[in-house]
Amino acid sequence: MSGVKCIVRKSLILLLVFSLAVSPMGCGREEYELNQRYDAVSTTEEFGITLENNFQPLTFFAQELIVGGNENILAEGVTERLSEASALFNLDTNSLLHAKNIHERLYPASTTKILTAYVALKYGDLSATTTVSEEALDLEPGSTLCGVSAGDVISLEELLYGLMMCSGNDAANVIGEMISGTTEEFAGLMNREAYALGATNSHFVNPHGLHDEDHYTTAYDLYLIFQEALKNETFRTIINTKSHTASFTDSQGESVEKEWQSTNRYMSGEQEIPEGVNVIGGKTGTTNDARYCLVLYSENVAETPFISIVLKADSRDDLYYLMTELLKKTCN
């Protein structure tokens, strides 16, 4: 009994320290209590945990997560040469069916926006509105946009559709300013939330994913972030939407409507979905350095859920060819 007491005591202390360290403190920002002290000799009885009162084991961090090592697991018949990293996760059995370089740091491009949406949904109010600033639209030429203009007044919910469907980098910046005041502050919040999910091999410097050498992630970290985002019903609804009519007002108070289409070829119908697979949705990403990326959530006929990831594919056609091969494995 004393052995059980000791283990539980240490676990509780670690959990308490972690939860206090990352506890949100208003306005979407976090503060750290550097001078906090915890009693290292407290016993489990002080927390009301004993074998006599039907003690239940603590739920540890990775208990419900799929843990992948450094060794590649290559599914039979899946082409491995078309991308730098790829993975297939069975969320029902918590098993890794295919893994290539899942811990290699790579540029995520717009798959970054999965984390942006997760943070926005966690800290924001869907019905709240914000005014688009000139600074939010200061993006490199050729950047993918959803088409908002300075002075537009738009809700967070509409911005999330623009973010996830047409991959608007302008929407990403507006969301960052709306939640945290600046995109720099928002990137800090993104990193704290990523680390809290276990995505410690990643670093983000912006909410949109345009190239920066210090902005990177891994296929495994994207799995950690995506599987948590999928727990939000609004997130699942948005990624499952093929087209959306956005409504907001311009700087003159006039009503504006824009038609947004999904950049996901499976959702748009441009790419054939394997028989027996239901693609729920996901997020694409493309830059010159990241090449072609896709994070996808799907189910087979038995409604078994899967996450499939391809990073740094050679071309868009190769991206969807490889992803389709992974999707076919979900029906085996």
Per-residue pLDDT tens digits for 240-251: 999 999 999 999
How many CB atoms are located within 10 Å of the residue 248 CB? 19
What pLDDT is stored for residue 69 in this prediction? Answer: 87
Instruction: Write out the catalytic residue numbers.
Output: 110, 113, 167
With 70 as the cut, is the pLDDT of residue 57 above it? Answer: no
What pLDDT is stored for residue 61 in this prediction? Answer: 58
What pLDDT is stored for residue 136 in this prediction? Answer: 98
CA distance 273 to 270: 9
What pLDDT is stored for residue 222 in this prediction? Answer: 98
With 50 as the cut, is the pLDDT of residue 20 above it? Answer: no
DSSP 26: S
Residue entry with tokens 């090449």: 291
Could you report how far apart the first and last alpha carbons of the chain are, in Å?
A: 46
With 70 as the cut, is the pLDDT of residue 62 above it? Answer: no
Query: In terms of pLDDT, which residue wins out, 42 or 140?
Result: 140
Average pLDDT of the residues of the chain = 86
